[in-house]
A and B are shown apart, each in its own frame.
Chain A
Amino acid sequence: MSDASINASRAYEDEASFGDYFALLKPRVMSLVVFTALVGLLAAPVAVHPVVGFCAILFIAIGGGASGALNMWWDADIDKVMKRTKGRPIPAGKVEPGEALALGLALSGLSVIMLALAANVFAGAFLAFTIFFYVVVYTMWLKRATPQNIVIGGAAGAFPPVIGWIAATGTMSVEPWLMFLLTFMWTPPHFWALALFMRSDYDDAGVPMLTVTHGRRATRVHILVYTMLLAVLAVGTAFSGIGGPLYLAAALVMNALFLHGAWKITRRDENDSEADNFKVERSFFKLSLLYLFLHFGAILAEALLKPYGLGGW
């Protein structure tokens, strides 16, 4: 076999598949976007035609995916340094950065225009703002500039239920902002727990995570403080228009567990954590996923039960 044919066959192996382009859209993040936006849409006090509702959620998801592709384009240099991200399509050499940029921009435009046409212009504009916030404010600016990157950048991931609500109603009210705050306040403890057990990743990449700039002890304390604030907000939401007895029960149980987990993280030192390979931090991270899912699931259940006279207070 000639050198040329060997090189050619290697190039073919590295060629991007359909799945690689799909991976640029961060499907796991997209699933969170779909779920929270769906809850926002269904919790709104307005009936939406199923086709319009489906289109709204789809285009919000595509907008979220587009911002994921733009994030991967911009962060390709640090993604190849971090263990967690070096298998992504660009650092793996499957997709060219320019392709990710083109896909991200094209899908951003498509999703914003289509959401404006399918639902309303306000929802489309809000989706455009969310993409801008995630890509420019978080990815390009805050992520590498401040240890508060996760706190402020978390807002971008918290917007989907607000967009879902606006897609249904065309207006704004307090309830979607409670859902926004729930995700917004949940993001820091979720990511800081990840930063604790992905130890050197952010350090190697030069991303000013709290663990890098303020130390691991301060990060543990921050997790507890944010979890306490989150608990007040999450339980308080039970008494709003989107809450109810079911939500209250879920919030009480989950926040008790979450506070207990945060307390255990604060009490540990690095030796304890390294001895059991960050068992408590890892289980707190997993619990955080269940935490958000159950809170939004409870809001959804309250909304779906309302027509039968069961949901809400």
Chain B
Amino acid sequence: MALHKEHELHKRRSGRNMGVGILLAAFVVLILALTMVKVTSNGFSFPDTQAEQN
């Protein structure tokens, strides 16, 4: 059976769904940026590497 956007609920809640979608996408971008900053900072080291150094 083909999927259709048949229900008016989708239209009615499009604003809310769009908002949640944008927020989730922004959160993913934010986590990616934060991870990049953390792993490229001077103080970064993997836990195992740290243990070997000790």
Q: Chain B contacts of A200 at CB under 8 A?
A: none
- Type the 1/0 row for B42-54, where 1 means its CB is closer than 8 Å to any CB of A: 0000000000000
> Which of B16, B19, B34 is within 8 Å of A51, CB to CB?
B34
Please name the residue on chain B nearest to A117 by beta carbon.
B34
Q: How far, in Å, is A65 (CB) from chain B's closest CB?
A: 13
| Known contacts A49-B41, A51-B37, A52-B37; A18 and B19 CB within 8 A of each other | yes
Assembled-state Cα–Cα distance A16/B19 (Å): 13
Is A118 part of the binding interface, using a Cβ–Cβ cutoff of 8 Å?
Answer: yes
Q: Is the CB of A118 within 8 A of B34?
A: yes
Q: Is the CB of A51 within 8 A of B33?
A: yes
Q: Chain B contacts of A17 at CB under 8 A?
A: 15-16
Q: Chain A contacts of B19 at CB under 8 A?
A: 18
- Type the 1/0 row for A58-76, where 1 means its CB is closer than 8 Å to any CB of B: 1000000000000000000
Q: How far, in Å, is B22 (CB) from chain A's closest CB?
A: 9
Q: How far, in Å, is B16 (CB) from chain A's closest CB?
A: 5
> Which of A12, A16, A18, A52 is within 8 Å of B34, CB to CB?
A52
- Type the 1/0 row for B1-44, where 1 means its CB is closer than 8 Å to any CB of A: 00000000000110110111000000000100110110001000
Q: Chain A contacts of B15 at CB under 8 A?
A: 17-18
A12, A21, A51, A58 pick with most chain B CB within 10 angstroms: A51
Q: Is the CB of B37 within 8 A of A15?
A: no
Assembled-state Cα–Cα distance A15/B12 (Å): 9
Assembled-state Cα–Cα distance A234/B7 (Å): 59
Is A151 part of the binding interface, using a Cβ–Cβ cutoff of 8 Å?
Answer: no
Q: Chain B contacts of A51 at CB under 8 A?
A: 33-34, 36-37
Please name the residue on chain B nearest to A16 by beta carbon.
B16
Please name the residue on chain B nearest to A59 by beta carbon.
B30
| Known contacts A18-B19, A18-B20, A55-B30; A49 and B37 CB within 8 A of each other | yes
Q: How far, in Å, is A306 (CB) from chain B's closest CB?
A: 23
- Sample of 9 A–B contacts (CB below 8 Å): A16-B16, A18-B15, A18-B16, A18-B18, A18-B20, A51-B33, A52-B37, A58-B30, A117-B34
